[in-house]
Amino acid sequence: MKKTVLLSLALSASLFGANIDISEAGAKFDRVNPEFSKDVVLSYHSSIAEAKKSVVNISTKSKHKVANNPMAEMFNDPFFKQFFDFNLPRQEREVSSLGSGVIISDDGYIVTNNHVVENADEIVVTLLDNDKEYKAKVVGTDSKTDLAIIKIEEKRLSAIKFADSSKAVEGDIVFAIGNPFGVGGTITQGIVSALNKNNIGLNQYENFIQTDASINPGNSGGALVDSRGALIGINSAILSRSGGNNGIGFAIPSNMVKDIAKKLISDGKIERGYIGVTISDMSKEQKEIYNSKEGALISSVEEGLPADKAGIKRGDLIIKVDDKPVKNANELKNLVGSMNPGSKVEIEFERDGKNQKVTLKLDSMDKSSNAGSSNVDEGALEGLSLKNLDDEIRSKYALNKDLKGAIVTNVKADSKASEYGFRKGDIIIQIGQNDVENIDDFNKYIKAYKGKKVLVWVIRNGIPQGLVIR
């Protein structure tokens, strides 16, 4: 029976003329060695010789409180603290780590990853071509792009040459230079695997170059260069379940690096423009409603901020900023975030099938994100910063519109709040049997339970959890 059905299907395809015109590659071709000669060895040594002089090893030391008892970590977990009243001691230990950096000026400015130097008490830089050590100081950091600038006191250094990363294309040969596993200067080779990668979940601002050049622990902050030896990116991270290289590495594009580096050197910090909207990419169904098939869709507008004042509304599709096309939400975020607060920009958007333009003045992202944020009364609970829930936060985290509470915006390291297990993004909704609707409620009820154990309920990743505090 099965044979009959298969035969019928085959005959049907033949009768109805289901032919496929397959394009064939040329059958005649030459296979050659590139510039073959018995007296020639193919090499990229000269391509990366100068670039290698610009890459440095970075060694950091920092002090952390760690358990001095193998059981201590378990009993310091908030889950176990609900059942066991242990307060096992923790001692301060010095922790060392290794990374890489790239010299960007002959007088000692070096770019690296923020996570390489973050919280470091001491930073030591070593050039790849000699053993001389330099003490480095932090000039500025930007956790949102995972970039940092440090400086050593030295002249006549070999600074890297920057390439225009916007001109990189998939298939370009690239080299990763750094200090993997602390073995010293190492070069690996690959290609540009992909461009403009975002939503990886590594940084807040992402526009990665993806490469299959081997990037391993210690390569962070090192150089990704093209076949001319020009910098096209700063190696930042890999995707790996085991921690080893799987051929999926990410580098921060040189154009972003250059912009951030200049601002950190001149100002010591990054101030980003902000218009006060929540944005998303269009779904396939949403694209059917708009004439423009690319852009950033507005899902909410924060009251009193630039977009709201300019009349931008939910459902508007932003397609241009200062005549620069906006393909998706990530492009809008990166574009506006690269501009200085106070700048005037022209926004073009589609509404009801018609394009409109407005001019607005950018606010500061840091100022706006901290508006309404408050440190909890130190007498109530040390180390916790909260913000009252509002419509913008509910929309951002897809929360019920009627939910009330206070969201954790920051938890200081080694604080009581950290010890009890609070995390950034937790939404505090209840203390004991008391509902928490705002920061004032939190302070009041925490003080009422002072000296007693109480269960504090938070929503974390959409799931209610109870934290025990004393």
- % helix, strand, coil for the chain, step of 5: 20, 35, 45
Which residue in 100, 115, 172, 374 is the catalytic one?
115
Least Cα distance to 231 among 256, 258, 254, 214 occurs for 254
- For residue 258, what is the enclosing H or E element? helix 254-267
115 is catalytic: yes
Give CA–CA dist 225/233, Å, rounded.
Answer: 7
415 is catalytic: no
CA 174, distance to chain mean position in Å, is: 22
Alpha helices for 40-192 (secondary structure H): 45-53, 72-75, 78-81, 114-117
Determine the 3-state secondary structure of 13 from DSSP.
helix
Looking at residue 229, what DSSP letter applies?
S
Tally the C-alpha atoms within 13 A of residue 245's C-alpha that lie toward its C-beta: 21
Looking at residue 285, what DSSP letter applies?
H
45 is catalytic: no
> Residues 305, 390, 378, CA angle at the centre, nearest 5°?
105
Q: Is 403 exposed, middle or buried (0-12, 13-18, 19+ CB in 10 A)?
A: middle
Give CA–CA dist 433/454, Å, rounded.
Answer: 10
Which residue in 54, 220, 368, 374 is the catalytic one?
220
Determine the 3-state secondary structure of 232 from DSSP.
strand
- 253-276 burial, b at 16+ Cβ within 10 Å, e below that, comes to bbbbbbebbebbbeeeebbbbbbb
Strands 354-361 and 324-325: unpaired
Which residue in 142, 146, 226, 426 is the catalytic one?
146
Tally the C-alpha atoms within 13 A of residue 133's C-alpha that lie toward its C-beta: 7
Least Cα distance to 211 among 246, 161, 254, 256 occurs for 246
Residue corresponding to tokens 């991270």: 237
Determine the 3-state secondary structure of 443 from DSSP.
helix
Residues serving a catalytic function are 115, 146, 220
